[in-house]
Amino acid sequence: MSIELVTSNIWQLITKTVKAHPSKSMVAVAYFGQQAAVMLPLKKGSILLVDASEKAVKSGQTCPAELLKLYYKGVEVYSLANLHAKIYVTGRTLLIGSANVSGNSSKFLQEAIIKTNDKQAVVDAKAFIESHCHIDMGEEQLLRLQKLYRPPKFNGVKSKNSKNNKSAGSKQPSFFVYNLAVGEWSDEENQQADKGRKEAKNHRINMSRHMLDEFKWVGNFVAKKGDTVMQITHENNQVYVSPPGTLIHIRKWNNGKQITNFCYVEVSNKRRKNINYLKKHFKLKTFKLISRNGRKNKEVATDLINLW
């Protein structure tokens, strides 16, 4: 018998375990989000128990379209409202911990699971799942729920898989840091910014407790709509860090000499923090990484988001 605590590359482990084993799986997991059918490629005859209640679907925590993908493969899909367990049984392996099947879990959250091949634990896990498989989700019910589904909002990031994005393989949102300086904009720049501001209002996600912030970036701008952006602003000999927000709109303007990107970020209505606050929370090497422009990895992103 083996027991192992896993705290990194959790979704790589779960996906690999399910793909590699030839037998059916039994899974009880609270929420099944966008791209979940790729993250958890269950085989025909497997049993999947999720919270597919209207509440979970309307909040975007469970995506019926992803359940339909597995249903059409021959997976038995069941629903249990208020389910909170995260149990994955494949063959003689039991994985149990905190991870829902979602991009939020794989990209931003710090998860932990126990991996074991203890025979009794595997038997008990299967029995738990079977004992709650009462509401069988057929095609008709899943299609009805799909009409109620709304894209999720989490950690200031809106999922990119909307009605206008039909690519099942679209990437999860990335986390970027941009250093900015307060300065005057020309009349032409202000005119372009006003147009972009009006356009951005049509893309608002969280109207309550959030505000629309903006900045301009000259030249190549890597971040895309839906990514998370944290602004570091140099102002009056001080440096302030804004809470991470969602990039909801970019207006590009070419004045014949250069391209200027007017960027609109929806930020939670919380106070900025002085850069010295971050210095107290991170080691020097990590702090230098934070202070530089560009994309940051999952661990750094999670640490920064948790500061607010």
Q: Residues 48, 97: contact at Cβ < 8 Å? A: no
Q: Residues 36, 62: contact at Cβ < 8 Å? A: no
Q: Residues 177, 292: contact at Cβ < 8 Å? A: yes
User: Given a cut of 90, is residue 304 above it in pLDDT?
Assistant: no
User: Which whole-number Å values give the CA distances from 155 to 4, 307, 308, in the listed order?
Assistant: 29, 12, 10
Banded pLDDT at 99 (limits 50, 70, 90) = very high
Banded pLDDT at 105 (limits 50, 70, 90) = confident
Q: What is the mean pLDDT of residues 245-270?
A: 92
Q: What is the mean pLDDT of residues 51-69?
A: 92
Place of tokens 């303007």: 253
Give the tens place of pLDDT for each residue, 233-245.
998 888 999 999 8
Q: What is the pLDDT of residue 172?
A: 64
Mean pLDDT of the chain: 87
Q: Higher confidence at residue 191 or residue 277?
A: 191
User: Given a cut of 80, is residue 164 above it in pLDDT?
Assistant: no
Separation CA 306–CA 240 (nearest Å):
17
Residues 6+ apart with CB under 8 A from 245: 156, 210, 213, 228, 229, 230, 231, 265, 266, 267, 268
Residues of the chain above pLDDT 70, percent: 93
Give the tens place of pLDDT for each residue, 108-140.
788 999 999 999 999 999 999 999 998 999 898
Separation CA 248–CA 158 (nearest Å):
9
Measuring CA to CA, which residue among 60, 13, 22 is closest to residue 40? 13
Domains of the chain in start order, with CATH, are 3-158 (3.30.870.10), 175-306 (no CATH)
Q: What is the mean pLDDT of residues 290-302?
A: 82
Banded pLDDT at 162 (limits 50, 70, 90) = very low
Among 165-179, 195-209, 224-238, 286-300, whose mean pLDDT is lowest? 165-179
**How many CA atoms within 13 Å lie on the side-chain side of 284?**
0
What pTM does this model have? 0.53
Residue 161: CB atoms within 10 A of its CB come to: 22
Banded pLDDT at 96 (limits 50, 70, 90) = very high
Structure token digits, residue 183:
């300065």
Q: What is the pLDDT of residue 170?
A: 41
SS3 292: coil
Q: What is the mean pLDDT of residues 60-84?
A: 94
Give the tens place of pLDDT for each residue, 11-40.
999 999 999 998 899 999 999 998 999 999
Q: Higher confidence at residue 30 or residue 154?
A: 30
CA 264 to chain centre: 20
Give the tens place of pLDDT for each residue, 278-295.
888 887 777 777 778 888
User: Given a cut of 60, is residue 160 above it in pLDDT?
Assistant: no
Structure token digits, residue 82:
């208020």
